[in-house]
């Protein structure tokens, strides 16, 4: 056996998965301020620098522009080169002195004040795209021995980098981060839950009697605890299937071997009767031999039904498959003065084992006819992907505590303990084995009247159509 690698363990996968998920979300959210900061400190593009340089050169050549109303006209000036390069609206210029005071206008936006601080921290000309404006600068120059700085502003028709959208919409960013985190955790949960779903499906199938159910190879071949659990489950299922098959085969073999001495006994009785050896003791021995033969026949039937899973099903009409059984039951009910009502549409079809299913329905009808007061009903209908067969009678019903136990081999309710009416308790066991062979289910329930008393028994069989 290969040594287990600790990095293949489920603990490590969970730790690594959630750690990577949280780290990725934190990294993406933390990256936005860094991207914004790098963009805030991006150097001034040459085209914008030429705009400021041309205006500064004009001021240096015409110092009178720094006086009076010329300063206000400077704030509203347009620059053809800037308009052409940036497809922008009017260019607004801000002229500051050495102390950072704006000289050419008294209306200064909060964004411009913020940009001044950003440019001072950057210590070189930069440009920054705010929500509704692009501000760039400063361009430093000297006029008459005094230092000045020139800034430019364009309106909001400049495209902004994509990450500014997330930086400005923090709630949306947080929502997207939560959504991305949920998606990543969902993928991790699906990856971890898939083998559990496969294991659950196989366990449910095994519980329903499908002894061939196993966990798929993809799950069993995993190198973590899930794979080890799947392999352990498959090993357990193999052992259970082998044990049950051996038990059923042993029952069939014993029943078959018992027939040999029983045949000799019946032959000896026949020879004794032929010689005229009649007595009450011989009659009793003959009766018990017949009972023993019937019991062995039932045991062999139960064994065959339980081991018939390898046989192929045949798609037949339900009414046609049960026609002989229904005719016999109708005749038997009539002989006992009872009424059998049949409601099985001819269009109902399903894959089945004809002999096995017929034997199961025959057992139910015989029990219903035996215990019914006057009426028995058998009906069938398709409900979704299943065909529901119900057998009802108006007899005394069964104690609610015994409704599940009646399907166990050799179990007989207290009301049916006598040999004549109760048999050996194998009829319903054969029926359940036959229904399980068809991947179906059978349930017994009492019919309750308006007064709250039991007014009959209802047996419901559900068989898959495909």
Residue 320 belongs to domain with CATH number: 3.30.565.10
**Are residue 421 and residue 441 in the same domain, yes or no?**
yes
Number of domains the chain is built from: 3
377-416 burial: b if 16+ Cβ within 10 Å, else e: bbebebeeebbebbbbbbbbbbeeeebeebbebebbbeeb
The SS3 of residue 317 is strand
pLDDT for the residue numbered 84: 42
108 falls within a domain? yes
Output the CA–CA distances (angstroms, integers) from residue 230 to 6, 201, 203, 241, 247, in the order listed. 18, 12, 10, 16, 25
408: left (phi over 0), alpha (psi -120 to 50) or beta: beta
219 falls within a domain? no
Record the pTM.
0.46
β-bridge pairing 375-383 and 339-343: parallel
- 256 in active site: yes
Closest CA to 399 of 460, 454, 439, 320: 454
**Are residue 116 and residue 233 in the same domain, yes or no?**
no
Phi, psi (degrees; rounded to nearest 5) at 401: -70, -15
Both structure tokens of 23: 């780290």
pLDDT for residue 5 is more than 80? no
Segment 115-131 mean pLDDT: 82
**Are residue 76 and residue 100 in the same domain, yes or no?**
yes
Place of tokens 């969970």: 14
Catalytic option among 124, 256, 386, 438: 256
Task: Report the C-alpha dihedral over residues 232, 238, 244, 245, rounded to 10 degrees.
Answer: 180
More confident residue, 17 or 158: 17
pLDDT for residue 448 is more than 60? yes
**Are residue 238 and residue 162 in the same domain, yes or no?**
no
pLDDT for residue 389 is more than 90? yes
Whole domain around residue 300: which residue ranges? 225-306
21 falls within a domain? no
Tell me 42's DSSP state: P
**CA 391 to the chain's CA centroid:** 35
Q: Are 396 and 415 in contact (CB under 8 A)?
A: yes
202 falls within a domain? no
User: What average pLDDT is seen over the chain?
Assistant: 77
Task: Using the 3D structure, point to which of 147, 166, 185 is the last residue of a domain.
Answer: 166
Flag the least confident range among 136-145, 199-208, 243-252, 326-335.
Answer: 243-252
């Amino acid at each position: 056996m290969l040594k287990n690698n600790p990095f293949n363990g489920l603990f490590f996968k969970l730790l690594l998965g959630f750690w990577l998920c949280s780290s990725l979300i934190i990294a993406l959210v933390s990256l936005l301020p860094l991207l914004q900061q790098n963009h805030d400190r991006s150097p001034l593009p040459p085209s914008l620098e030429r705009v400021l340089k041309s205006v500064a050169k004009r001021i240096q050549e015409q110092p009178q522009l720094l006086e009076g109303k010329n300063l206000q006209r400077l704030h509203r000036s347009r620059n053809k080169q800037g308009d052409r390069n940036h497809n922008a609206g009017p260019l607004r210029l801000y002229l500051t002195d050495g102390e950072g005071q704006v000289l050419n206008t008294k209306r200064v936006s909060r964004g411009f004040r913020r940009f001044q601080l950003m440019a001072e921290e950057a210590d070189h000309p930069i440009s920054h795209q705010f929500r509704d404006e692009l501000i760039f600068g400063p361009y430093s120059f000297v006029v008459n021995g005094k230092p000045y700085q020139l800034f430019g502003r364009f309106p909001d028709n400049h495209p902004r980098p994509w990450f500014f959208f997330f930086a400005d919409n923090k709630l949306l960013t947080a929502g997207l981060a939560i959504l991305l985190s949920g998606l990543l955790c969902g993928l991790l949960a699906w990856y971890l839950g898939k083998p559990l779903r496969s294991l659950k499906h196989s366990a449910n199938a095994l519980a329903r009697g499908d002894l061939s159910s196993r966990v798929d190879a993809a799950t069993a071949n995993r190198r973590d605890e899930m794979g080890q659990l799947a392999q352990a489950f498959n090993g357990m299922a193999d052992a259970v299937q082998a044990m049950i098959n051996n038990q059923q085969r042993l029952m069939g073999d014993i029943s078959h071997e018992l027939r040999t001495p029983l045949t000799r006994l019946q032959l000896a009785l026949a020879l004794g009767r032929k010689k005229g050896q009649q007595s009450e003791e011989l009659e009793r021995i003959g009766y018990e031999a017949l009972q023993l033969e019937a019991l062995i026949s039932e045991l062999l039937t139960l064994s065959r039904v339980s081991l018939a899973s390898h046989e192929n099903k045949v798609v037949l009409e339900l009414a046609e498959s049960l026609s002989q059984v229904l005719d016999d039951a109708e005749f038997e009910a009539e002989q006992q003065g009872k009424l059998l009502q049949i409601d099985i549409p001819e269009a109902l079809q399903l894959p089945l084992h004809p002999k096995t299913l017929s034997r199961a329905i025959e057992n139910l009808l015989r029990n219903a006819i035996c215990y019914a007061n006057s009426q028995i009903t058998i009906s069938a209908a398709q409900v979704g992907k299943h065909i529901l067969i119900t057998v009802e009678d108006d007899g005394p019903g069964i104690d609610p505590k015994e409704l599940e136990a009646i399907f166990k081999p050799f179990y007989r309710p207290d009301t049916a303990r006598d040999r004549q009416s109760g048999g050996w308790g194998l009829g319903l066991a054969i029926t359940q084995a036959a229904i399980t062979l068809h991947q179906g289910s059978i349930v017994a329930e009492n019919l309750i009247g308006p007064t709250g008393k039991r007014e009959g028994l209802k047996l419901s069989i559900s068989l898959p159509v495909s």
